[in-house]
Amino acid sequence: MNYQVLARKWRPHNFREVVGQEHVVKSLINALQHNRLHHAYLFTGTRGVGKTTIARILAKSMNCENLHDANPCGVCKACSDLDEGRFLDLIEVDAASRTKVEDTRDLLDNAQYAPNQGRYKVYLIDEVHMLSGHSFNALLKTLEEPPPHVKFLLATTDPHKIPVTVLSRCLQFSLKRLLPSQIMAQMEFILGEEKIIFETPALKLLARSADGSMRDGLSLLDQAIVFGNGTVASDDVNAMLGMVAEQPVEDLLTALANANAVAILDKINDIANTQSDFGEVLQQLIQVLHRIALVQHLPTAIDPDFDTEMLASLAALLSPEDVQLYYQIALMGQRDLDLAPDSRSGFEMLMLRMLTFKPAKIEVVANKIAPVAVTKPFAPITQPVIANPPIQATQTSGEQNWTAIIDQLNLVGPGKALANNCVLDTMDDKVCSLHIDSSIIRGSLAEDMLQKALQTYYGKPIKLVFNSQKTALDTPAVQILKAREDKQQAAVDSINADETVQALKDNFDAHIVPNSIEPI
């Protein structure tokens, strides 16, 4: 007997065997159970996700003599004939090879006649978007008013090319791309039934390479079995696909985190010796950086299709800023591989670019009080404009601390801005009196927010009173600005006093770029 490829041998024969399209299967089963079958169905989706397969199962269910929970029995004459391609009432057409209007008219000439064997005469038109405009016009009349014994099942990878007049007469179902985990689970089941030895990492590689298509995944699995002489091993799959495992990517990112150029170039040399495609290595690098970024912001986002330990360790080793930078360089660097003299030199320059532009931080502590500072080229400090002068009020122990009160009120927006530009005069159970500079514009929204926050916090109907008298105390806004200025000056002093910076100035005529120092 001739060998039958896995994609055909293990094609689903009922709805229970369909993988990953539960939203479509549920709708079709409900329609069959309640006898609410539409006269035309359109199945859309990328290649190899099950459009034609589900259409055939639906055709079988429509004509099955003994349905089991809306699933075809598989043993009656209609099911057997349909499985063996002998069912006369299933007219299956490839629209890509029959695009002419004459073909469509010939096809529909017999639609008016009753079925030969089954309950319905089913027209299954694959790649229906390939029909010509005249063919669609010829189909439209029958599609609009079909005989009660006729059903149309249309499948396409490009529904945008189908006229809206046809789309409006069909029930449309969009099939999803399959997840790598779904494809891998089906591969494991098939290999178990076929009694073929396999390695799980090899199936992960195959499932990801399938790019959402079950048919492509099973075709790759067929190829891997032949390549591995009856087994599916990781090394064989890597060699067959021209890929490298995740380990070199992990080593490259680890060396990058350690700023180790020697280790990076050594690993690139190892990759080159395996005759791997550097474009594929770059693709894996981008995928891993994407997963690392997700894990850093959402630890539960670890993808089981990747090495979870590797993702966790790299997420801890690399800063989120570095990951974003590396991802952008890698993404933009894909086009450079084709422009470089060869892919290896292009990849080397890409990795060295990541190493060169990695943010460098100089941590300097001048004394125990001074804050840590970093130098950032061409990053001038922007200070907010505050209506009042600078801060740090010196209040006696008997006075209430207005800054502490503001912190407890949980104010935001205009209400907090107004409070920060005031100084507390007096406050009791009924009235809160505040000093405010006459240059500050008070809005009714801000006043209402502040008054409601005070009333909510103290649980009393406190009324706000503002006066424009000058006061010796600084407002909280002024205190914040003074504290920021003091911190900035401490950072500048710590950089200027650093011995390394002094040595750079003395020996290399270096100078500090004005406004390039930021406190941390």
Model confidence pLDDT, tens digit, residues 262-308: 989 988 888 887 666 788 888 888 988 998 898 888 877 666 656 67
Asked if the structure places residue 338 within a domain, the reply is yes
What is the CA angle 516-517-520, rounded to 5? 140
- pLDDT, greater one: 379 or 25: 25
pLDDT of 377 higher than 50: no
pLDDT of 141 higher than 60: yes
- Do 86 and 215 belong to one domain? no
* DSSP 8-class letter at 89: T
Q: What is the CATH number of the domain that holds 84?
A: 3.40.50.300
3-state secondary structure of 180: helix
Residue 394: the pLDDT is 39
Residue 221: the pLDDT is 92
pLDDT average, residue stretch 389-411: 61
Question: Final residue of a domain: which of 212, 241, 270?
Answer: 241
- Do 153 and 201 belong to one domain? no
pTM of the model: 0.57
pLDDT tier at 242, thresholds 50, 70, 90: low
pLDDT average, residue stretch 122-148: 85
- Do 208 and 266 belong to one domain? no
Q: What is the CATH number of the domain that holds 196?
A: 1.10.8.60
Q: What is the CATH number of the domain that holds 408?
A: 3.30.300.150
Given the structure tokens 């840590």, which residue do they identify? 372
Structurally, how many domains does the chain consist of?
4
Angle between helices 343-356 and 278-297 (to 10 degrees): 30
Asked if the structure places residue 453 within a domain, the reply is yes
pLDDT average, residue stretch 471-489: 84
How far is residue 99 from each of residues 105, 138, 321, 417, measured CA to CA in Å? 11, 12, 54, 70
- Do 115 and 188 belong to one domain? no
pLDDT average, residue stretch 203-220: 88
pLDDT of 403 higher than 50: yes
Asked if the structure places residue 432 within a domain, the reply is yes
Asked if the structure places residue 137 within a domain, the reply is yes
* DSSP 8-class letter at 198: B
Name every residue whose Cβ is closer than 8 Å to that of residue 259 and which is 6 or more positions away in sequence.
355, 358
Asked if the structure places residue 441 within a domain, the reply is yes
pLDDT tier at 373, thresholds 50, 70, 90: very low
**Pairing between β-strand 40-44 and β-strand 171-174 as defined by DSSP bridges:** parallel
* Cα separation of the two ends of the chain: 74
Q: What is the CATH number of the domain that holds 325?
A: 1.20.272.10
CB 440 within 8 A of CB 421: yes
- Do 48 and 73 belong to one domain? yes
- Do 152 and 14 belong to one domain? yes
pLDDT of 24 higher than 80: yes
- Do 55 and 154 belong to one domain? yes
- Do 159 and 297 belong to one domain? no
Asked if the structure places residue 386 within a domain, the reply is no
Asked if the structure places residue 278 within a domain, the reply is yes
- Do 349 and 272 belong to one domain? yes
Residue 43: the pLDDT is 93
User: How long is the chain?
Assistant: 520
- Do 223 and 261 belong to one domain? no
* CA 425/CA 229 separation, integer angstroms: 89
Residue 243: the pLDDT is 61
CB 414 within 8 A of CB 375: no
pLDDT tier at 360, thresholds 50, 70, 90: low
pLDDT average, residue stretch 226-239: 87
Question: Final residue of a domain: which of 241, 268, 290?
Answer: 241
- Do 434 and 325 belong to one domain? no
- Do 435 and 468 belong to one domain? yes
pLDDT average, residue stretch 377-402: 43
pLDDT of 380 higher than 80: no
pLDDT average, residue stretch 82-110: 79
Identify the domain containing residue 216 by its residue range.
180-241
3-state secondary structure of 11: coil
Candidate from 111-115, 301-305, 494-498 with smallest mean pLDDT:
301-305
Asked if the structure places residue 487 within a domain, the reply is no
- pLDDT, greater one: 346 or 96: 346
pLDDT average, residue stretch 319-335: 90
